[in-house]
Amino acid sequence: MKISYNWIKEYLDLNVKPADLAEKIERTSVEVDSVVKPSDGLKKIVVGHVLSIEAHPDSDHLHICQVDVGEDEPLQIVCGAPNIAEGQMVIVALPGSRIADNVKIKKSKMRGIPSAGMICSLQEIGFPEAVVPKTYVEGIYVLPADAMPGDDVYDYLGMNDSLIDLDVTPNRGDMLSLYGALHDLSAIYDLPVKFDQPAVKEAGEPTADQLSIHVDEALAPQYKMRLVKQVKLAPSPMWLQIRLWNAGYRPINNVVDVTNYIMLKYGQPLHAFDYDKFAGQDVYVRNAKQGEKLTTLDEGEHDLDPNDIVIADEKAPIALAGVMGGLDTAIADGTTTVAIEAAVFEHDHIRKAAQRHNLHTDASQRFERGVNRTGLQDALDAAAQMMDELAGGTVQAGTVVAADNVPAPAVIDITMTHINAVLGTTLDQPQVTHILEMLGCTVTAAGDTLTVTVPVRRNDIHIPADLLEEIARIYGYDELPATLPTGRMTMGELTTAQKLMRATRHSLEGLGLNQAISYALTTEDKAKMFLMQPSETTKLAWPMSVDHAVLRMNVITGLLDDIAYNSARKVKDVALYEQGRVFYREDGTERPSEQEHIAGAITGTLLPAAWDQPAKDVDFYQVKGIVAAYLKDMAVNGDVTYVANTDMPEMHPGRTADILVHGHRIGFMGQVHPTVAKQFKIGATYVFELNLQAIIDMPKQENQYDVISRYPAITRDVAMLVDNDVTNDQIVELIEKRGGAHLQSVKLFDIYDGVKVPKGKKSLAYTLTYQDKHETLVDDAVTQAFEKVEKRLQDDLGVEIR
Amino acid sequence: MSLKDKLNELHERGLAEIKKSGDLKDVNQVRVSLLGKKGPITEVLRGMRDLDAEERPKVGAFANEIRDDLTAALAKRREELENAVLNAKLTNEAIDVTLPGTPVAKGEPHVIQQIVDQIEDLFLGMGYQVLSGPEVEEDKYNFEMMNLPKNHPARDMQDTFYITKEILMRTQTSPMQARTLETHDFSKGPLKMISPGVVYRRDTDDPTHSHQFHQVEGLVIDKHITMADLKGTLQVLAHELFGDKFDVRLRPSYFPFTEPSVEADITCFNCGGKGCKVCKNTGWIEVLGAGMVHPNVLKMAGVDADVYGGFAFGVGPDRFAMLKYGVDDIRNFYLNDVRFLNQFTKKG
Ligand SMILES: [Zn+2]
């Protein structure tokens, strides 16, 4: 809501600049979106008197105008506006002036005729079109006849005011009006406010004789109407138009403008009906009936819902209550009798109706948040009185009050001890009492306890905590000390799982992978890929897009999306890991379980080519090296084995392995199936995904010291020809089993399957290291052990020792 | 000429010859000619037979002294010459030290992770626990127990990805307040926790909106926790993340689960508080929401709101990262362009 600085100053003796006032409001009350002075950025825009106009010889719509701008000679200005006429007072942008959007106006020629400046519309000097009076939307604006040629136009148009745009939080509906804001500012600046309330001059017949209202009080706990007869519709006076357009409202006429003005001033939405268009004298406030329709003021047609509240006459709905009036009973040319409605509608109904009909109006916004339940009559009276003054109407005698259930004010007990204990302050009772009284509360003190009666208009204050906020903000958050919690000590320590997750990230980063954070919501297809266990998908009920509609059940696809993104930008070497959750759901349950996973994906090369090192395309063994190093880092206690897996549909059938710890599968690794890679538009990519929760839960090896042998080690190399289907694991296992007590390690150092090797065979070579902890090994003993192994290899695996 | 004079003369001549020797071969020749079996010193020593018994040991000692000195001088000269040879050889092995080093594989933590870790470490140091909650939440924890009943208007403020009527993607980390309050045993001590994690909103992704982002929730509940403690804690957080010269100010705000509710601003880093485009000329930038936990939240979780109370805050690491590094598009955090990820190498 835009609130006028000048208007505030009429009621409050403030000595601060608009920017400072806005800052104060933001610091103490509600957020401020902007402070705008409409004349800012404009230059040399003055009142001009159109002395004469003549048609442009080369144009059918341009006019050549002689305009008095308060100088010795009139200016000749070519103007294309359809509504230009002799004698008008107009807005002139002089040569060298600046108009809206920082546009500079210079002397120019228009179709050969010199033009010294420009006659402007309101839009051209920065008015939003939505607030420009309808008459002037398509042309120039005509100023009042008493404007002085040569004067700056700003004051005539209210453009030197400063407009503070409040962003009011849902709890502070009371701030959506001048009077509401004044109450707060009064407390903030500790200044008295002079509210004014006109006395209504009633005449004519009793309203009650002309109108009966039947209200469902559950829908409208308060409902009142006044009648004003013999109104003469006309444009509102300038001061009122200025108030309205500065607040963002288009001036319409002296009746509709009054209702908007009163809403801005009091916060109470009013609606003006054309009484003569009612079918009968009875008005009903009720739920809409199935099948009823209503055309609203904005000419929108609405099928009404039985949950909508409507105002209806004998025949049909005439307004969507609290949201917008109907077109049929709207104030229009020829209206002479106005029924002014001031009401309170049940907020939940209004919120839903506004949503249902997509009509979020200033009225609905205020009813949703709650209006001042004690302010209806004042607003209604002020509106009626203004229609008398501005439209020459006759206010009929009395108000028809169909319902008037005003809630009791909240009464809250709070102790000084509590206030200071929660705020961390040392406030005394007079300070607190004064703050609350400035906010309109009444306070009675008994010992440490304050009994606070809260004004009804502050419908956000119900409990002691609400009062604490009022005291704190008015006292000033800057005045609060800054301390740290004291009291019983607590330990701050990561859990074992959290430590392992951190260690996981550090380990993989050390191994060359960048951490990625991808989207957990993905497509249904991607969610179901690379599954490590059977699971139902979990889908969003109303996704924003199909790309993010289903919860992931793997981490890899997100990484493949990332690789695709990089690849499309010509970044070909990508090594990423991600630690995050996957969501498995069992059939028949609503809620998935969440499992921590760790996954990696590498494409291109892990190390870039350099002058001293050729690039090596990533392969299975590099990824295996990373996985193995990572698992070693995690001190997983147990044999880690890798078993070929030919069955994962998204993986290369010949280059995929399950990762097992003690025979328990914790993940897989290998090359993404080339068909899948193609779907993702990426090159050869190697991936792994591990159940991180399983790793967290596994027993870990404790660090322990083992004496390093002082005695020399003896090595023996063995090279052998084996059948292609014999695996390294088989050979190593056999050597380790049969190598004797002193075998320390077995290390593969060569694989050869070139031309010299018979078809179907491969040549493998291993180094066996023997060592004794307690004495120097005898060569003979080693030879004996070594020969035994060689024999077993020949016997058991059919190798040919070379 | 006495034997002693002879020896002195030999000494001087010897030192001069050693000094003159230009390479290892020279040094060797000098050694043989001076100290060899046929050399002058040996010859002098032979002449000692003619001396009387009293003189003999003195001259003998003197001769040995001179021989030792020459031997040492020879060794020193040899070492000098050897070093010169070696240095000449090493000079020829010179390389271009400006050539790039051999690449090694090295990954970086994600920039959001860095900020989360930094926040975690700060609060661990102040005795907080780090807790993580489910990303798929119940309406009950995400909203109802956070004082947002079904028809609460503020639910409109948060667009939610529902899975079923009661199950949703959490829109905030605040449900962890309800979950920990429900289970915490206050007889064991105060509750001090932070809860970092991913949250989801029903938004269309654009430079300033992401349907997935991060939050860190903070919660302290005990018997004597004050709003001043909240202010002090947020100040510590701002100093840790941005630097000591950053100030924190609190402004009134509204969250259903805190009362009083505040928004915290910190000094604008772009202009240092003078006012600029980034801070809309205010000198301040909004960074987080906080407040004193609403009594309803405590009551609903079964905590006696008359005895216990405290503060809660929620910070957005994405927003922090955007502000701190001037990242102009939030989507960068989730697209994982390697060229983006590699920009954030300084930890902490
Ligand atoms: Zn700034």
Inter-chain CB proximity A514 and B104 less than 8 Å? no
The pLDDT, as a whole number, for residue B158 is 60
Mean predicted confidence (pLDDT) in A164-189? 94
Q: What is the pLDDT of residues A523-582, one digit of tens each?
A: 999 999 999 999 999 999 999 999 999 999 999 999 999 999 999 999 999 999 999 999
Number of A–B residue contacts, CB under 8 Å: 259
Higher pLDDT, B33 or A303: A303
Can you read off the two tokens belonging to residue B170?
A: 């959490």
Inter-chain CB proximity A485 and B228 less than 8 Å? no
By the CB criterion, residues less than 5 angstroms from ion ligand 1 are: B 268, 270-271, 276, 278-279
Q: Are B315 and B119 in contact (CB under 8 A)?
A: yes
The pLDDT, as a whole number, for residue B347 is 61
d(CA B348, CA B339): 20
- Give A604 to chain B, closest Cα distance, Å: 13
Superfamily of domain A496-697 in the CATH hierarchy = Bira Bifunctional Protein; Domain 2 (3.30.930.10)
Per-residue pLDDT of chain B (348 residues; tens, 9 = 90+): 677 888 888 888 888 888 888 888 888 888 888 888 777 877 777 777 777 878 788 888 888 888 889 889 989 999 999 998 899 999 999 999 999 988 888 899 999 999 999 999 999 999 999 999 999 999 999 999 999 988 776 776 568 999 999 999 999 999 999 999 999 999 999 999 999 999 999 989 999 899 999 999 999 999 999 999 999 999 999 998 888 888 899 999 999 999 999 999 998 888 888 888 888 888 888 889 999 999 999 999 999 999 999 999 999 999 989 988 889 999 999 999 999 999 998 765
A582 touches chain B (CB under 8 A): no
- To 10 degrees, the CA torsion angle through A796, A798, A799, A801? 90
The pLDDT, as a whole number, for residue B348 is 52
Class of domain A43-143: mainly beta
Which of 1.20.1260.60, 1.10.10.10, 3.40.1160.10, 3.30.70.380 is the CATH number of A714-801? 3.30.70.380
Q: What CATH code is assigned to A2-37+162-189? A: 3.30.56.10
The boundaries of every CATH 3.30.56.10 domain in chain A are 2-37+162-189, 411-479
Give the contacts of A669 (CB within 8 A, at least 6 positions apart).
A620, A623, A624, A627, A642, A656, A657, A659, A686, A687, A688, A689
d(CA A87, CA B101): 84
The pLDDT, as a whole number, for residue A579 is 97
The boundaries of every CATH 3.50.40.10 domain in chain A are 202-404
Inter-chain CB proximity A477 and B259 less than 8 Å? no
The pLDDT, as a whole number, for residue B157 is 55
Q: What is the pLDDT of residues B255-269, one digit of tens each?
A: 999 999 999 999 888
A473 touches chain B (CB under 8 A): yes
The pLDDT, as a whole number, for residue B156 is 61
According to DSSP H, which parts of A476-578 are helical?
496-510, 524-527, 556-568
Inter-chain CB proximity A515 and B130 less than 8 Å? no
Q: Does domain A202-404 have CATH number 3.50.40.10?
A: yes
Higher pLDDT, A377 or B35: A377
Q: What CATH code is assigned to A411-479? A: 3.30.56.10
Tell how far the Cα of A184 is from the centroid of ligand 1, in angstroms: 28
The pLDDT, as a whole number, for residue B245 is 84
SS3 B245: coil
Contact residues on chain A for B220, CB-CB shorter than 8 A: 485
Q: What is the ipTM of this complex?
A: 0.89
Tell how far the Cα of B117 is from the centroid of ligand 1, in angstroms: 27
Q: What is the pLDDT of residues B16-45, one digit of tens each?
A: 888 888 888 888 888 888 888 777 877 777
- Give B291 to chain A, closest Cα distance, Å: 10
Q: For the CA atoms of chain A, what is the radius of gyration?
A: 42
The pLDDT, as a whole number, for residue B1 is 65
Tell how far the Cα of A668 is from the centroid of ligand 1, in angstroms: 50
d(CA A627, CA A614): 23
Inter-chain CB proximity A477 and B236 less than 8 Å? no
d(CA A605, CA A622): 10
Give strand pairing partners of B251.
B263
Short-list A717, A798, A799, A715, CA closest to A763: A799
Would you say residue A767 has pLDDT above 80? yes
- Give A209 to chain B, closest Cα distance, Å: 40
Q: Are A488 and B222 in contact (CB under 8 A)?
A: yes
- To 10 degrees, the CA torsion angle through A535, A537, A538, A543? 160
DSSP assignment letter at B144? G
Give the contacts of B229 (CB within 8 A, at least 6 positions apart).
A424, A483, A484, A485, B220, B311
Mean predicted confidence (pLDDT) in A317-323? 96
Tell how far the Cα of A698 is from the centroid of ligand 1, in angstroms: 51
The boundaries of every CATH 3.30.930.10 domain in chain A are 496-697
Q: Which of A53-57, A88-92, A118-122, A389-393 has the lowest mean pLDDT?
A: A53-57
Identity of the residue in B204, B263, B282 whose CB atom sits nearest the CB atom of A544: B204
pTM of the full predicted structure? 0.88
Q: Give the DSSP letter string of A650-669.
A: TEEEEEEEEEEETTEEEEEE
